[in-house]
Amino acid sequence: MQTNSKTIKDLLEADYQYTEIILQYLLDMTRSQIFLNQNLELSDDVWNRFLDIQRDLKDGRPLQYAIGKWNFYGYDFIVNENVLIPRPETELLVEEILKEELKDKKLLDIGTGSGAIAVSLDLENKDNLQVSACDISKEALEVARVNAEKLGAHLDFIHSDLFENIEGRFDIIVSNPPYISEEDYDKLDELLYHEPKTALYGGIKGYEIYEKIIDQAKSYLKDQASIYFEIGYDQGKVISDLLRENGYHDVKILQDYGEKDRIVTGKWLKDSITS
């Protein structure tokens, strides 16, 4: 029976898509382990999963959903069509927040999706940061819950349309909300239409959700609290203006590794002037 079984080498030499990446996830190996173990024979299970993934890719399904997992900040998150695929640019948001003094602080992630941001922050910070995460989608929240459990994170999940079911005040509010405008949504790469529209489409202008969060957050932020957003590359000015107009201080735009505006952050002071 073993005579027909495939080795890693057989697959690497054949004409499949994304073989290396898929094998890394299926075998739980690093890229170099894949290359150092080329004579390893694949179990029937792995071989069948590999073929299923290849079939999905042929049907146009995004690689991340076909595999069912994707790495974010060093952790493998379960992903499916109910959640946005975690993007490497978003890791920067986690990195920035981890620079803050987080001991005993309370953080809220709005629109958590797969839980990538909230779970990574909870796992990375060992200083009793209390993380809450909400999403309008029950299906997304279920994915986030499973990810938290699987990765050993302890957070509070709340089913909520923005602040609707949120109580209390936070030291940090973070969000990577849907931010694509109507005009841009119609022009997206075909692969992005496999992702939930609720996670991408931000309204006619694209920044409608920021307008709501920035306004409503004032009742949910403590004195000296911070707000962090991921933004579209062309939204730096509009979102930072919105924050300032709403009385936030220390508004900053940060760029990603491609030198595109990617994060906007600001601070809320109790006596911020709200005009």
The CB-of-239 to ligand GLN minimum distance in angstroms stands at 12
Contact indicator for 41, 2 with CB cutoff of 8 Å: yes
Q: What is the 3-state secondary structure (H, E, C) of 197-226?
A: HHHHEEECCCCHHHHHHHHHHHHCEEEEEE
Strand (E) positions, the chain?
69-72, 75-78, 106-110, 130-135, 156-159, 170-175, 180-181, 201-203, 221-230, 249-255, 261-268
- Give the C-alpha distances (Å, rounded to integers) separating 155 from 51, 119, 133: 36, 8, 7
The CB-of-88 to ligand GLN minimum distance in angstroms stands at 10
Structure token pair of residue 77: 């998150």
The CB-of-265 to ligand GLN minimum distance in angstroms stands at 16
The CB-of-177 to ligand GLN minimum distance in angstroms stands at 6
Looking up tokens 């609707």 gives 164
Name the residue nearer to ligand GLN (CB basis): 87 or 267. Answer: 87
Name the residue nearer to ligand GLN (CB basis): 127 or 234. Answer: 234
In the bound state, the residue with its beta carbon closest to ligand GLN is 179
The CB-of-220 to ligand GLN minimum distance in angstroms stands at 20
The CB-of-13 to ligand GLN minimum distance in angstroms stands at 33
The contact set with ligand GLN (CB under 6 A) reads 87, 176-180, 200
Cα-flanking dihedrals φ and ψ of residue 29, to 5°?
-125, 160
Cα-flanking dihedrals φ and ψ of residue 259, to 5°?
60, 30
Picking from 237, 169, 247, the residue whose alpha carbon sits closest to that of residue 215 is 247
DSSP string covering 116-132: HHHHHHHHH--S--EEE
The CB-of-232 to ligand GLN minimum distance in angstroms stands at 7
Separation of alpha carbons 61 and 64, rounded Å: 8
